[in-house]
Structure 1
Amino acid sequence: MEKKGTLFVISAPSGAGKTTLIGQVLKQFPQLSYSISHTTRKPRQGEIHGRDYFFIDEQEFQTRIARDQWIEWAQVHGNFYGTDKAFVSEKLDEGENLLLDIDVQGAKQIMNSDLRLVSVFILPPSIEVLEQRLESRGTDSPDVIVHRMENAQWEMDQQRVYDHVIVNDGLEKAVADLCLIFETKMRCL
């Protein structure tokens, strides 16, 4: 029997640098597959359907909930996000290692399933730095930033349920720390 792939789950509060870190990991591990999430939120400037997210409407998302087609899903910042169950199963059954970039709610759903996974939580250096990063992105209104900061505090309080925690206080070190986890776990599992 062929060995199943390893499922990696990475979560972080909005603005912690997760997307940048994941991009670096994917460059260093070309054999690693990446699961693109579905969302009901509108695309941000520069985002492309099928590359950044699969952008769908709420009715389609709800239909997929009713059909049990998500391995995990959550409502975050007023929008729905989910990971396609069939895609994940197919990749892992084929022996591929798969990376999911998902929020804490979704990660906890997967942690409570029978899937074997490696979970990583990315922390910002401080709550103040996180707020500065969100403001400097220029993509959210002040009200949205306040909401994201409230959610970030709750998310950071959940870090203890993850296998690994990395503080993103320097890109080079955070990338090295994250890559070490992937290198070790892809070899050992």
Structure 2
Amino acid sequence: MLRRGVLAVRGGLTEADVREAAAALAERALELPELADARTVAAYVSVGSEPGTLALLDALYARGVRVLLPVLLPDNDLDWGAYAGPDSLLRVRHGGKMALLEPAGERLGPEAVRHADAVLLPGLAVDARGMRLGRGGGSYDRVLARLEGADAEPALVVLLYDAEVVERVPAEAHDRPVHAVVTPSGLRRFRPSYPSSHGDPSKGR
């Protein structure tokens, strides 16, 4: 029910609403020390009325950050490729699913995400514990399990609209809380990220 409700609200957003929120999201996200200090960020290309990411991807790329973008595999796992600007994206339709924008260059393998300093996660909601509600496809559950299995500890950040920060979402034993959520109106932290690679987490709001 929560998924349906969030998707219904997103479906009512205008293109202008999405553009305005995307610009604010990029501005807020770039305030995060985890992104300011990152050399490699695993991200994704928003589609439809999702909280927009393209402005943020371009800002990170302009800074010289290596931005990795997902490529959906037939089993719903994710491969990765490097972002090289808007012209490096291809629109790909996977069966009857929504068309996705994916990197056109070399495939780096599912394990490439282990080298990211920060991972931007799509989602539909996050709760007061930092638990994320995804779309239910399981792709990012695999990513998070892969990171945990490799003892990789990137900063985990979700990009959402303001109303999608809620009191509680369903969670299972294997679910992992994120470090922060970014919305158009600000930042909220749930647990410290890793100061050995990301500086002082107290600098965030």
**TM-score bin, normalised by smaller chain:** 0.3 to 0.5
TM-score using structure 2 length: 0.37
Which of the two has greater helix per residue? 1
- Structure of higher RCO (CA pairs closer than 8 Å, 6+ residues apart): 1
TM-score using structure 1 length: 0.39
